[in-house]
Amino acid sequence: MTYRVYNGTQLLGDVNNKSTGINGLLPATSYQLGVTNYNGNRESSKATINVKTRGIRLIIPTSLTVNSTITLNYQEYSLGLVPIGTEPAGMFGGGNKRDIQAKVISVDNGKSTVELLEPLESSSTISLGGTNLLKDSLVPLTASSVWINDGVSNQIVDDYVKIRGISNNNRIYQPFSNNGLNADGYYSISFWASNDGNDEEFDVQVGTWNSLQTVHVTGSFKLYKLENVWLGGNPTFSFVAPFRKVVRLKKIKLEKGSKATDWPPAPEDTQYIVDNTQMNRLQDGSFAAFNGYRAIYFRQ
């Protein structure tokens, strides 16, 4: 049986299982999701449900009153975050300022968890599939704290990373521990790859260090999948370029489950402020959380 999944009147796609994930939903936003049965020719009437996502939650290291509503201040290009002289015109010292209402959800050991009552983002692209667990997955190596670069000849070109094998050990890899994957389970991995014009064996190491799965990368960019891979113990995940050969990579996705689905960025790469971020106390006694050029403040 095939099921069609809708967001309002927008068809998100077809699935064969009775469960799936939906990526790109904004926090604190209402949606009407629908499902139909589809046999390739005829489609049933749509069953719908109205849902509202919860807001982004922040942790403020001070005790507040549970169930009370507080006001946070959001702004972009906060003074000191962007080097003076490089900020956009009209943005000096902070622009796009607005107040955000938040509700105090709980207080524990002098720390208050608050939930934003509206989204910070204005739009997103909604798609089917599991959450991408890899940060910085469009073009690896742009965040050195997440992707480890073992080769000196790797470089970023346009929207992909080019890996040149300079030894038998030239690789980039993403430790699963960086994504909190501590429990055993089945995962799927997908990525777009191409070679430098000749068929090359391109190693993808998934599992424990003594487990190696290999795919054969041929020609120009196309999608490769490793599905229903059991990961347990102390797993690893790496891409290895052949000696003196070049492999190009982009749009890498790791997700839970037995099927690889379309690539989206990880939530941490799209959210203005990451969920469950702890706000830090500033010298003036206020609290702040930052994400790139964006900042949100709480002033008592």
Going from the C-alpha of 114 to that of each of 117, 199, 237, 279, 280, the distances in angstroms are 9, 53, 35, 11, 14
pLDDT of residue 281: 93
State which amino acid sits at residue 260: A
Highest average pLDDT, of 51-60, 232-241, 248-257, comes from 51-60
Question: Looking at per-residue confidence, does 68 or 150 come out higher?
Answer: 68
Q: Answer for the pair 110, 243: CB distance below 8 angstroms, yes or no.
A: no
- In angstroms, the CA 292 to CA 185 distance is 33
Model pLDDT for residues 53-65, shown as the tens digit of each residue:
999 999 999 999 9
Q: What is the pLDDT of residues 119-147, one digit of tens each?
A: 988 888 888 888 888 888 888 777 666 67
Highest mean pLDDT among 135-139, 151-155, 164-168: 135-139
Mean pLDDT, the chain, whole residue set: 82
Residues 6+ apart with CB under 8 A from 284: none
**Banded pLDDT at 180 (limits 50, 70, 90):** low
Q: Report the alpha-carbon distance of residue 255 to residue 130 in Å, rounded.
A: 6
**171-180, 241-250, 284-293: the lowest-pLDDT one:** 171-180
Percentage of the residues of the chain whose pLDDT score is greater than 90: 32
Lowest pLDDT segment from 9-13, 46-50, 144-148? 144-148
What is the SS3 assignment for 218-277? CCCCEEEEEEEEEECCCCEEEEECCECCEEEEEEEEEEECCCCCCCCCCHHHCCCCCCCE
pLDDT confidence of residue 93: 56
Q: Is the pLDDT of residue 284 over 90?
A: no
Cβ count within 10 A of residue 185: 12
- Residue whose C-alpha is closest to residue 270's, from 24, 17, 79, 54: 24
pLDDT of residue 8: 94
Mean pLDDT of 253-271: 84
Residue 67 has pLDDT above 90, yes or no: yes
pLDDT confidence band for 274 (50 / 70 / 90): confident
pLDDT surpassing 90 at residue 154: no
What is the largest distance, in Å, between two alpha-carbon atoms of the chain? Answer: 65
Q: How confident is the model at residue 36 (pLDDT cuts 50, 70, 90)?
A: very high
CA dist 240 and 212 (Å) reads: 11
Greater confidence (116 vs 239) lies with 116
Q: Look at residue 47 in the predicted model and tell me its pLDDT.
A: 96
> Which carries the bigger pLDDT value, residue 221 or residue 104?
104
Confidence of residue 276 (pLDDT cuts 50, 70, 90): very high
Confidence at 78, pLDDT banded by 50, 70, 90: low
Q: What is the pLDDT of residue 241?
A: 74
